[in-house]
Structure 1
Amino acid sequence: MGKKLKLSFTIFLCIFIFDQIIKYGFANYDWNVEGPYMSLQLAYNYGVAFSMFSFLAEYLKYIQLGLVLIGLIYLYINKNVFMEYYIPIALLFAGGLSNILDRFTYGGVVDYFYWHYGFEFAIFNIADVIINLAVAIIIYIQIKQARLEKKNKV
């Protein structure tokens, strides 16, 4: 477990710091760039995905911290889950905690990727991409395990 814990902490720390440096640049310097397909444009999200629950803006950071704490307790109790999913868990926590820190630091999540070619998409950040990557990895592992179990039953 020690090796996996160290690796997951290293992944967490690298992604968390990288994401916060990028967000600091957008929040404090004029890093906006207009492109034909995608632009880099500072925006603050006071809700969650697609600004849902923005009416909870001031309380959302505490609700999310509570959910992270519940997740940590669950992983402490179920160490086997951590052992199996330690990489996506590190990615989830890095992206999630980085976005939560934004709420405390800037009052909302710092977003900057803006897709506008063909259709307009929500503005998002690297942490959002990392969270989605983590979920995709978890789904992939689940599908792989289900297929293996199905194959072993036959």
Structure 2
Amino acid sequence: MRSPPRPNALAWLWLSLLLIVADQASKWLAITNLEYLRPVPVIDGFWNWTLVHNYGAAFSFLSDAGGWQKWFFSGLAVVISAVMALWLRLTPRADWRNALPLALVIAGAIGNLVDRLRFGYVVDFVDWYLGFTDLPHWPTFNVADSCIVVGAVLLVLFSFKPATPAPDAR
């Protein structure tokens, strides 16, 4: 006799969708309320809102590559999102230690993909720095970037100690 199918973690894609909407809404606010490259202090010496166009990837990697990078990073986002969605499909729904980071990375990849396809660049606007040092500003980022970083860090952290299996309910 076949056992009933176990629910998979694809339901976590609702979190991805919610974060994509939050990312796009925050970028819309940045585009409509900020001037390009003109910092607006939030906390003096630490945090500005600064509208920036990132034609590359993290830390503006390949930003001056001539345009082909738009399609490369767009394709990469599609492939990564598809692989992680498949991974969610193979993950039990209750396995939040795998599902949460995957949903975060998918949200970030798709949030930035929308920008690349819409504008040809990614909209960044969060500018952190330490004003009392000679250190440069941290690279300007957005909600999608935050989702990718937090998701990747959680995947690594959770890989060090596997989840303890739930006791059998007998």
TM-score, length of structure 2 as denominator length: 0.73
Residues 96-136 of structure 1, C-alpha deviation per residue, up to 9 Å, x if partnerless?
11111111222211111111223321111111111111011
Candidates 142, 150, 155, aligned match of 1:125:
142
- The structure 1 segments of at least 4 consecutive aligned residues displaced by more than 4 Å after TM superposition are none
The change in CA–CA distance for 1:16 and 1:57 in structure 2 (over 3 A counts) is farther
CA contact (8 A) 1:46 1:57 kept: no
Q: Whose helix fraction is larger, Structure 1's or Structure 2's?
A: 1
Residues 21-65 of structure 1, C-alpha deviation per residue, up to 9 Å, x if partnerless?
000111122386313111111111111111111134633332233
Candidates 112, 124, 133, aligned match of 1:111:
124
Candidates 44, 49, 54, aligned match of 1:40:
49
Asked if residue 88 in structure 1 is aligned to residue 115 in structure 2, the reply is no
Q: Distance in 2 between matches of 1:74 and 1:143?
A: 19
| Corresponding residue SS for 2:140 | coil
Give 1:76 deviation, angstroms: 3.1
Q: Which runs of 5+ in 2 are unaligned?
A: 1-5, 165-170
Q: Distance in 2 between matches of 1:9 and 1:76?
A: 11
CA contact (8 A) 2:77 2:113 kept: no
Q: State the identity %.
A: 26
Asked if residue 144 in structure 1 is aligned to residue 161 in structure 2, the reply is yes
1:4 aligned residue: 9
CA contact (8 A) 1:12 1:90 kept: yes
| Corresponding residue SS for 1:55 | coil
Asked if residue 23 in structure 1 is aligned to residue 14 in structure 2, the reply is no
Q: Which runs of 5+ in 1 are unaligned?
A: 149-154
Q: Look up the equivalent residue of 1:127 and give its one-letter code.
A: A
CA contact (8 A) 2:101 2:152 kept: yes
1:152 aligned residue: none
Cα RMSD for the two superposed structures? 2.6
